[in-house]
Amino acid sequence: MRFLDQPIEFESLPGHAIPVFAARTTADELAAFCHAAHAAERRLVALWGSDERDREPGAGYALHVAFDLAEGLVCLTLPTAPDQPVFPDMSPAFPAADRMQRAVRDTIGATSEGGDQRAWLRHANWPEDYYPLRRDTPDARFETRNEDYPFVRVEGDGVHEVAVGPIHAGIIEPGHFRFSVMGENVLRLEERLGWKHKGIERRFVGMALAEGARLAGRVSGDSTVAYAWAYSQACEAIADVTPPPRARWLRALLLERERVANHLGDLGYLGNDVALAFGLAQFLRLREDWLRLNAKLFGHRLLMDRIVPGGVAIDLDAQGAEAIIDQCHAIEEDVRRLKSIYDEHAGLQDRFLTTGRITPALARRLGIIGLAGRASAQRWDLRCEHPCAPYDELKPKMAIERNGDVAARALVRFAELGEAFRLVRKLIVDMPAGELRRDLRSAPDKRGFGWVEGWRGDVLVAIETGADGKIRRGHCHDPSWQNWAALEHAVIDNIVPDFPLINKSFNLSYAGPDL
């Protein structure tokens, strides 16, 4: 099978919830495919590396690049040399590839030919020649150290730098932001992330499939359902098991509940960031009610470990279904009233409108995805584009805005809330009966992919098993990888005090892209 008129023969991987195609390729073919995908206005999903030296004598490393094509997920694997491994630079076509390439260099040691060569995930805390994802790298502890990171400097009369973080005045996740400003105007923002490195991908190695589910669910706490589902999809593809229908519907119910909880929180915090604390108090009240029902019905506020490979670990009885429907109605009504307050509040609208604007053209160029992308007219939503069951029956409506400012991102959240309430009700009414979980047995030397539209954007989990059926390489991709780079552009020409608001309107994960 061939795509985009490129001379690469793909094989279709069976057993996946979404169509997945894979192929091995050469560097030139990969570069050509990359440009063809860019020209066809498709997007790069993820990019990661693996160590293949133990497979056969003379083997080196491998670079895996996943694209979103109209046909489904397409994964190209480029084998590289064992010494001095290099791969083509994909950042000219897909700017978001830049940091992923730097992460591959930091963790595997394969380098892109060109592009930014500064370390990304590796701070001075581990030595330059220590590659944590190489299979022969021993566990080690290193002294905590600091280093000077070569930020890009903006020269000029009156230009100065403002450095923020990684430790902030409030209790939030760590990220360093270096602003070059002229007075209050931001000329350039450069992010430095990687303060939350936990070694999750290294931890995956050698885990049984069932064991890895708990780890995958902890990549990013606010997206635990999305990660758990994506991980389960990958495992089910490896074991060639289809989860029972009721389990799939329950999974969608949990995913939509996670989406609602996060959107409610974000809308509150957006109000709070323009000092409208009333909005925060109200939205947090709704979110709290929502989470408490989660805890009551499913035993966990954030729904961690409720989705397991093979099915789900929870069930819903008639009483619970009724409670969910009732709460949906009540909260939807409150959200509707709060929306009209937000819509009619002149001060709030003045702060939201035109702030942190990313035009559709720029969004296309940067490859913004997920919620932030949809606010800039980027029609990426897996639930509509490559719907897996039960989304093929639910037919969710994609929320699209064109302005790309803070107001647009708030509107997309409101629209998705309304749609999620509809989906939750429909999921409950139409939920099939039946078993909840199937047994799952791992298979050796297989690859599985899971791809789920979380509340922030699409989450990709790629799992590869070794000869013993245990995980050989597990990669989790967070949509924040793509959107962090876009945030740097959203801030340009805004004023410094608007940055927290713009940042909150994206609400990206610091932990997710730093495993």
Residues at the site binding another protein, with contacts judged by CB under 8 A: 160-164, 168-172, 184, 271, 273-278, 280-282, 285, 345, 347-348, 350-351, 495-500
Write the DSSP assignment of 375-406 as a string of letters.
TTT----HHHHSPPTTHHHH-PPPP--SS-SH
- Comparing CB distances to another protein, the nearer of 199 and 347 is 347
**Minimal distance in Å, beta carbon 448 to another protein?**
42
- Comparing CB distances to another protein, the nearer of 39 and 182 is 182
**Minimal distance in Å, beta carbon 483 to another protein?**
20
Query: Is-contact 305 217, C-beta < 8 A?
Result: yes
Distance CA 274, CA 278 (A): 11
Neighbours of 136 (CB within 10 A): 8
- Comparing CB distances to another protein, the nearer of 152 and 281 is 281
**Minimal distance in Å, beta carbon 282 to another protein?**
7
Q: CA 284 → CA 292, 294, 502, distances in Å? A: 12, 15, 20
> Token match 């905590």: residue?
144
- Comparing CB distances to another protein, the nearer of 27 and 341 is 341
**Minimal distance in Å, beta carbon 57 to another protein?**
55
What's the chain's length in residues? 515
SS3 (DSSP) at 48: strand
- Comparing CB distances to another protein, the nearer of 167 and 433 is 167
Classify strands 72-79 and 20-24 as parallel, antiparallel or unpaired. parallel
- Comparing CB distances to another protein, the nearer of 152 and 277 is 277
Which helix (H) or strand (E) is 161 found in, with range? strand 159-164
Query: Is-contact 236 310, C-beta < 8 A?
Result: yes
Which helix (H) or strand (E) is 421 found in, with range? helix 406-429
**Minimal distance in Å, beta carbon 173 to another protein?**
13
Specify the amino acid at residue 42: R
- Comparing CB distances to another protein, the nearer of 8 and 274 is 274
**Minimal distance in Å, beta carbon 114 to another protein?**
34
Burial level of 209, CB count in 10 A (0-12/13-18/19+)? buried
φ, ψ for residue 221 (rounded to 5)? -60, -35
Query: Is-contact 209 447, C-beta < 8 A?
Result: no
Can you name the residues that pair with 186 across neighbouring β-strands?
Answer: 181
**Minimal distance in Å, beta carbon 287 to another protein?**
14
Q: Which two tokens stand for residue 269?
A: 């915090």
Query: Is-contact 474 462, C-beta < 8 A?
Result: yes
Query: Is-contact 249 436, C-beta < 8 A?
Result: no
**Minimal distance in Å, beta carbon 354 to another protein?**
10
- Comparing CB distances to another protein, the nearer of 156 and 434 is 156
- Comparing CB distances to another protein, the nearer of 413 and 473 is 413
**Minimal distance in Å, beta carbon 457 to another protein?**
24
